Structure 1
Amino acid sequence: MKARSNLSENANPEVAKDQNGNTKQDLATGVSQVIDSHRLEGRDDFDFPGVIHQTARTESLNPATLSWYYANVGEEHKHYTDREALAYVKKMAPTDVYEIYQSLPDPVARADLFRYIVLYEAGGVYADVDTTTLCQINAWIPKEFEMASINVVIGIEVDAPKVTSLAEIEDWGWADNFQFVQWTIMAKPHHRALKDATAEAITRVKSLANKRAEKIKALQLTSMDIIRTTGPGAFTAAMLKYLELSDVSSLRGLTKPVQVKDVLIMPVSSFAPNQRHSGSKSVTIAENIPEVLVMHGFQATRSWADSVKSWLLSKVY
């Protein structure tokens, strides 16, 4: 794979400094040691676009973001501010999609829509800025799977069949007792499932506005509203529809990746370790578990993330 710049033209310039005056290269020295201890063998036949998309309201530097740079030194990294994301959607998405996008008052809801749109148009990896990768993206797909037959890679976030009451599901902050991760997604361009995810989210936003007899720009969205309308609720519904799975029993209790149609579905611990549910594995800084590929920011309350954060900060500041 031909090496390309890690930096997009207008985002995260190479001379960027953090609040203490350290450059990106200085900060990466601590991140590198964590990633090197977890690095896996990549695949020479990797054929997904080598680009990593991330969004934030402003440009930011943190150990989580830096992990994507260091783990994927030959890939392109695009960081979009709110203004850049809006311009991208206006340029690339249909007019009706753009109108809904720019009307959404909540930046989290817009970020949900943006990931589906940018992955549909450009492909590559979308990763929330509070996710930390432990290895390079070209090592995510195990060698037993034919690379050309896989067009999307997703992970399971929630697999809790015993949690059945709506009240308990809401207490956990889920849309349902089974849902996919959407803080990290890998896809090839123009995949129908990503287009369907955009359409599903827009349909749910319109439905909520109609139910409340409000204009979209006036909607006051709670965290559960977002989870259900634009977040993992909409994404999971769109993916299951594409996979033609009305029953998720075949995806319950996965311990290794499984391919359904052209989608590779990763077990819970791959993209969502250190959770208190769903059989998620608890990982410490000293462990090297190849199954664990990505950590998410809300898991910072767990021991692994606490250890990594303090260890990194002691190394880079």
Structure 2
Amino acid sequence: MKEIESRQYPAKNPTMAPIRRAIIAFALLVGIIFLFRPFSTSDAAYRDGFSQGQKPLRIPPQARGRAGTGQSQLPVGETAYPTLLEKLRYQYPYDLDSKFPAYIWQTWKDSVNSNWFPDHLRPLEASWTERNPEFVHEVISDEAADHLVQYLYGSVPEVVEAYNSLPAPVLKADLFRYLILLARGGIYSDIDTEALKPAIDWLPDDMDPSSVGLVIGIEADPDRPDWHEWYSRRIQFCQWTIQAKPGHPVLRDVVATIVEDTLRMKRKGVLTKSKMDKSIVEFTGPAVWTDAVFRYFNNPDYFLSEGTRNVTYEDFTGLTRQKKVGDVAVLPITSFSPGVGQMGAQGPEDPLAFVSHLFEGSWKPESERIS
């Protein structure tokens, strides 16, 4: 028995204790170094997401390109730091198959429950709830918007810095609409708009909502030689009413463009209303929005461009019904600009008249209103 016991339970070796203690001490030291080393949760999340691969952006049914290859890992030799576009994509990925979120977002300098909310805007604001009772309808004050941007984009500090640095309320209001749609999706509409028909009627019966990620309307289609004296683009998409699924690439693009322009002007010391090197329309308004849409239509990462011509204003001029390009539904000028009396727009009673815009700009100071 003693022999068996000695094989099962070897006698203690006095020389093993120091070795064991040394191993334990080394393990504790490594653990302490790991515990207290500099570490950023957000950086690690971006690093893991972009180096180990992530679900690639789903390509629209009518489009295909390099983005459909599923190659999201950074090639050897490229920077390990994600670009602003990559950060936004990681923070708010795009899922075309998802439903349009049932949100309606509007902004005003004061709460709708405030005594300072103008009486003439109340029926307009109420029309959105009346026409869309199943939607969550929020009118966000300027103060609430500041906090919401910090909450939604705290992990992308460039966005927060740019938003807080904008020198005029109209610029913040423009950027906020893109930010809230990128993060949460739904419908954004200016406070001086009236809902004429429910949002579920915006797309025709033969257009599957699961194949659409962005719904936009034509603001201007000036078929005249002096169009540039009146509008910034030959075809101009309105940004007073937009419907989107969260994470849409056009929203990512326009947010990144505005943020980078803002920080560039801030570094140059020209980020003031009197010194900005871009007009409001070009900086945050319909011009930069229209450009982002056309960049998307002509981006080979999303659309096959070989052997096909670019998408231009000619594809939308004279549009009289909804048109789908990739995952974007473009509505005719009548849909969001009925009754303007020009450029082929029909009246508010037209079946395709969905939103009426009063063009007041009443929530902006007189010096900052734009047509």
* TM-score (normalised: structure 1): 0.71
Q: Which amino acid aligns with 2:347?
A: S
Deviation at 1:299, TM superposition (A): 7.3
CA distance in 2, matches of 1:184, 1:46: 21
Segments of 4+ in structure 1 off by > 6 A? Answer: none
1:89-168 matches, within 5 Å, as: 89-93=149-153, 94-164=156-226, 166=228, 168=229
For 1:5, the equivalent position in structure 2 comes to none
Deviation at 1:66, TM superposition (A): 0.7
Deviation at 1:161, TM superposition (A): 3.4
Structure 1 residues 292 and 299, CA gap change in structure 2 (3 angstroms):
farther
CA distance in 2, matches of 1:221, 1:195: 27
| Residue of structure 2 aligned with 1:293, choices 316, 336, 354 | 354
Q: Which amino acid aligns with 1:256?
A: R
Write out per-residue CA displacement over residues 83-117 of structure 1, whole angstroms, 9 at most, x where no aligned residue. Answer: 11111111112210111111111111111100111
For 2:104, the equivalent position in structure 1 comes to 52
Q: CA RMSD in A?
A: 2.4
For 2:147, the equivalent position in structure 1 comes to 87
Name which of structure 1's ranges 258-267 and 51-60 shifts more when overlaid on structure 2.
Answer: 51-60
| Residue of structure 2 aligned with 1:253, choices 302, 315, 318 | 318
Write out per-residue CA displacement over residues 125-151 of structure 1, whole angstroms, 9 at most, x where no aligned residue. Answer: 001000001111112111110111001
Partners of 1:202 and 1:230 within 8 A in 2: no
For 1:65, the equivalent position in structure 2 comes to 125
Structure 1 residues 270 and 46, CA gap change in structure 2 (3 angstroms):
farther
Write out per-residue CA displacement over residues 53-94 of structure 1, whole angstroms, 9 at most, x where no aligned residue. Answer: 010000235111110011111110111111111111111122
Write out per-residue CA displacement over residues 181-219 of structure 1, whole angstroms, 9 at most, x where no aligned residue. Answer: 100000011111111111222344456667xx5342x33
Unmatched runs of 5 consecutive residues or more in structure 2: 1-96, 112-116, 299-309, 362-371
CA distance in 1, matches of 2:275, 2:148: 24
* TM-score (normalised: structure 2): 0.61
CA distance in 1, matches of 2:185, 2:125: 19
1:6-45 matches, within 5 Å, as: none
For 1:269, the equivalent position in structure 2 comes to 334
Unmatched runs of 5 consecutive residues or more in structure 1: 1-44, 301-317
1:130-279 matches, within 5 Å, as: 130-164=192-226, 166=228, 168=229, 172=230, 174-206=231-263, 213-216=268-271, 218-220=272-274, 225-244=279-298, 245-279=310-344
The alignment partner of 1:55 has SS state of strand
Q: How many residues align?
A: 243
Deviation at 1:277, TM superposition (A): 3.2
The alignment partner of 2:109 has SS state of coil
Structure 1 residues 291 and 221, CA gap change in structure 2 (3 angstroms):
farther
Partners of 2:227 and 2:234 within 8 A in 1: no
For 1:38, the equivalent position in structure 2 comes to none
Partners of 2:337 and 2:345 within 8 A in 1: yes
Name which of structure 1's ranges 59-68 and 273-282 shifts more when overlaid on structure 2.
Answer: 273-282
CA distance in 2, matches of 1:188, 1:263: 11
- Taking only the aligned residue pairs, the percentage that are identical comes to 34
The alignment partner of 1:86 has SS state of helix
Structure 1 residues 221 and 276, CA gap change in structure 2 (3 angstroms):
farther
Structure 1 residues 274 and 165, CA gap change in structure 2 (3 angstroms):
closer
